[in-house]
Amino acid sequence: MAYLDDPTTQQANLRYIRQAMDEPLLERGHELDLARRWKEKQDEKALHELIRSYTRLVVAIAAKFRNYGLPMGDLIQEGNIGLMEAAARFDPSLENRFSTYASWWVKAQIQDYVLRNWSIVRTGTTAAQKALFFNLRRLRARIDGQSARDYLDNDAVTSIAKELGVQKKEVMEMEARMNGGDQSLNSPIGQEGENEWQDLLPDQTPNPEDIVIGMKDGATRSKWLNDALGELSPRERTIIQERRMGDEVVTLEDLGKQLGISKERVRQLEQRAMDKLKAAILVKAKDAGLDRAALFYDR
């Protein structure tokens, strides 16, 4: 659904569009001359003429995005930013047409604006998802033209996912997003309902009982670990502390130099120490009535 400007804004946009369309087209040689004058001499007059001559390009590209529910004037202004970025980066020595080069920058700037403002929820965080966002409607229209379906069945989802290089789940999620729109969690349920949608959201935080149990379990495991460390030799304990319990892991080579042994010997001692720790903790767990799965579950 397109955004509707107020009458005053609409008139201002129409004046700007007419002015853009009245700008004269540039001959190839004059266009390159303007680009060289700006790049080599920072001639602002040349830059302004180059930019003004291609505002019609911005208007044409912006018009393709007018159905995303955003103000046409904002789309045009974002496109102008992309046009200026293109002018700053354009290399006239390659003798390419400026319009060809600028089209990519204008489109990219407008697409970025649409993604940032179409929804309060971040949309299209990867290149594949951006392609899905901007091409789903086109592909959906092509599929709808071949069938009377008003939904995407599994074959349609598979076809779109394959063509755009995304997962089927992403296609279905984007379809739901684009058809649903944003809704406030403070919206009431029903016309006269006193409850809000946020009242139905489950609380994912642990309850007090789980917190207390977790703290007790953590303290118990810490005591078992300290007891097991006490059964290691001083050298094994040093290796475990440096390799497994520090904020920064010490390399086998550096630890070998510190202990006066080879790095392969450090690796062997580390493995032996880990086996001792594991065996000692399993004994503690067995004595406490816990099986192996319960001890290491989700840790």
Which of 40-49, 112-121, 222-231 is predicted least confidently?
112-121
Q: Where is the domain boundary, 86, 117, 148?
A: 117
Same domain, 135 and 111: no
Identify whether 37 is part of a domain: yes
Q: Which burial class, exposed, middle or buried, applies to 77 when counting CB atoms under 10 A from its CB (0-12, 13-18, 19+)?
A: middle
Same domain, 12 and 107: yes
* Over residues 151-177, mean pLDDT: 82
Identify whether 278 is part of a domain: yes
Report helix, strand or coil for 196.
strand
Same domain, 12 and 75: yes
Identify residue 14 by its one-letter amino acid code: L
Encode pLDDT of 24-63 as tens digits: 989 999 999 999 999 999 999 999 999 999 999 999 999 9
Same domain, 80 and 109: yes
pLDDT at 199: 73
pLDDT band at 148 (very low <50, low <70, confident <90, very high): very low
Same domain, 109 and 173: no
Identify whether 187 is part of a domain: no
**Cα 14–Cα 17–Cα 21 angle in degrees, nearest 5:** 140
Same domain, 111 and 155: no
Q: Are 136 and 172 in contact (CB under 8 A)?
A: no
Q: Where is the domain boundary, 87, 117, 147?
A: 117
Report helix, strand or coil for 260.
coil
Print the domain residue range for 151: 127-180
Q: Does residue 22 surpass a pLDDT of 50?
A: yes
Identify whether 264 is part of a domain: yes
Q: Does residue 293 surpass a pLDDT of 50?
A: no
The pTM of this model reads: 0.56
DSSP-H helix ranges across the chain: 7-22, 28-41, 44-53, 55-63, 72-89, 98-117, 127-146, 154-164, 168-180, 208-229, 234-244, 252-259, 263-287, 292-296
Higher pLDDT, 65 or 120: 65
The single-letter DSSP state of residue 188 is B
Identify whether 201 is part of a domain: no
* Over residues 137-153, mean pLDDT: 67
- Number of folded domains that form the chain: 3
* Over residues 111-135, mean pLDDT: 78
The mean of the pLDDT values for the chain is 82
What is the sign, positive or negative, of the torsion defined by CA atoms of 231, 236, 241, 243?
Answer: negative
Q: Where is the domain boundary, 66, 98, 117?
A: 117
Encode pLDDT of 52-82 as tens digits: 999 999 999 999 998 888 899 999 999 999 9
Same domain, 100 and 134: no
Query: HSE (CB half, 13 Å, CA atoms) of 258?
Result: 12
CATH number of the CATH domain containing 250: 1.10.10.10
Distances in Å between the alpha carbon of 73 and those of 14, 36, 51, 57, 65? 10, 30, 17, 14, 12
CATH number of the CATH domain containing 29: 1.20.120.1810
Q: Are 238 and 259 in contact (CB under 8 A)?
A: yes
Encode pLDDT of 265-290 as tens digits: 999 999 999 999 888 888 887 877 66
* Over residues 171-184, mean pLDDT: 72
